[in-house]
Amino acid sequence: MDISVIIPLYNEAESLPSLYEWIARVMKENKFTYEIIFVNDGSTDNSWQVIQELKGESLKLKRDNATVHGIYFRRNYGKSAALYCGFKAAEGEVVITMDADLQDSPDEIPELYRMITEQGYDLVSGWKQKRYDNALTKNLPSKLFNATARRVTGIQLHDMNCGLKAYRRDVVKNIEVFSEMHRYIPYLAKNAGFTKIGEKVVQHRKREFGVSKFGMNRFVNGYLDLMTIWFLNKFGKQPMHFFGLVGSLMFLIGAIAICVVVGMKIHALCTIGTSMLLGVNPYFHVSILMMILGCMLFLAGFLGELIIRNSQSRNDYLIREQI
């Protein structure tokens, strides 16, 4: 099979028939064999009924080069969960992800497919260079977010969170999308060893039906998730390298500070015969606090190492080829 198209959706019943017909037309014009995987993320409208009708229509028309699949969550789990299940079910050599709101154009699929199969990219991300969203609430925060993501990840993509992406099949089978990490799939792919990541300018269309399912909190969550995935990649297998180092430095600074405070007291007693009690000296308490925090951080790193050593995934390494 040439292509798997994964479409996560939540309350998009009105747009699904048009999207399905559009994809089918593009695939027919390019003679692709394909499957469409609709992942219904706990919709409360009649999206599932529409998917069932599209499945029936596909069987009725007996399109040998097309298959429609549907996955229906019992409740709303989020886009990352939908993509995770879609990736597990995908069988095409090239996997395309796109949103269900008709803002992503299926006409981009042939060129994305060509970039994967002919130019050798592992992943190609769409770049909605010209957007029709609100400039203040979406465009500006999106630019700031992507600038930060480029700096932290080292991946020079202008629109890392674009829903329209193409993947080599090996990529989606070797990464795990969890929490809200769908924003950072290129970074997950890079960490898994898939480093040939490209970008393509794609058309952005105005939403025809419904409303956006993402609020302003996605930008705050996005930064927190970015820090999480960076930390896990950097120290996930060796937590002692972070916690042990920081803890040791804090303990050392605290110990030096206590020595200085005690030395100052001894000096005062020898020169003027009197000195402030250690118990009322604020610097003494700060020094003790630094030493305690240092010990706690060191122990956190040690416990993290114990957990890693007993984890079944401690030796999960991705093998590219074996003969």
C-alpha 168/C-alpha 198 separation (Å) is 12
Residue with tokens 């409208």: 45
**Domain extent listing, the chain:** 3-235, 240-309
Question: How many CB atoms lie under 10 A from the CB of residue 53?
Answer: 15
Closest by CA position to 84, among listed 5, 213, 160, 182: 182
pLDDT at residue 169 in the model: 95
CA 280 to chain CA centroid, nearest Å: 50
Sheet arrangement for strand 66-72? 66-72, 34-40, 3-9, 94-97, 165-168, 123-127, 197-201
C-alpha 253/C-alpha 242 separation (Å) is 17
pLDDT at residue 36 in the model: 95
C-alpha 213/C-alpha 242 separation (Å) is 37
pLDDT at residue 61 in the model: 60
Question: How many CB atoms lie under 10 A from the CB of residue 34?
Answer: 25
Asked if residues 46 and 79 have their Cβ atoms less than 8 Å apart, the reply is no
Q: Which two tokens mark 277? A: 């009690």
pLDDT at residue 67 in the model: 87
| Residue 313 DSSP code | T
Query: How much is the mean pLDDT over the chain?
Result: 85
Amino acid at 194: F
Q: pLDDT tens, position by position, for the chain (323 residues)?
A: 899 999 999 999 999 999 999 999 999 999 999 999 999 999 999 999 999 999 887 776 655 567 899 999 999 998 999 999 999 999 999 999 999 989 899 999 999 999 999 999 999 999 988 776 655 556 677 788 888 888 888 899 988 889 999 999 999 999 988 878 888 999 999 988 999 999 999 988 776 766 665 555 666 777 777 787 778 777 877 888 888 889 999 999 999 988 988 888 887 788 877 776 777 778 888 899 999 999 999 998 888 878 877 766 555 555 556 55
pLDDT at residue 319 in the model: 56
pLDDT at residue 284 in the model: 84
Instruction: List C-alpha distances in Å: 75 to 39, 43, 87.
Output: 12, 8, 19
Spell out the residues 6+ positions from residue 18 whose beta carbon is closer than 8 angstroms to its own. 102, 208
Closest by CA position to 189, among listed 166, 172, 204: 172
Helix (H) or strand (E) holding 234: helix 217-235
Burial category of 217 from C-beta neighbours within 10 Å (exposed 0-12, middle 13-18, buried 19 and up): exposed
Q: 122: alpha, beta or left, given left = phi > 0 and alpha = psi -120 to 50?
A: alpha
CATH superfamily name and code, 3-235:
Spore Coat Polysaccharide Biosynthesis Protein SpsA; Chain A (3.90.550.10)
Question: How many CB atoms lie under 10 A from the CB of residue 47?
Answer: 24
pLDDT at residue 203 in the model: 87
92 SS3 class: coil
pLDDT at residue 267 in the model: 79
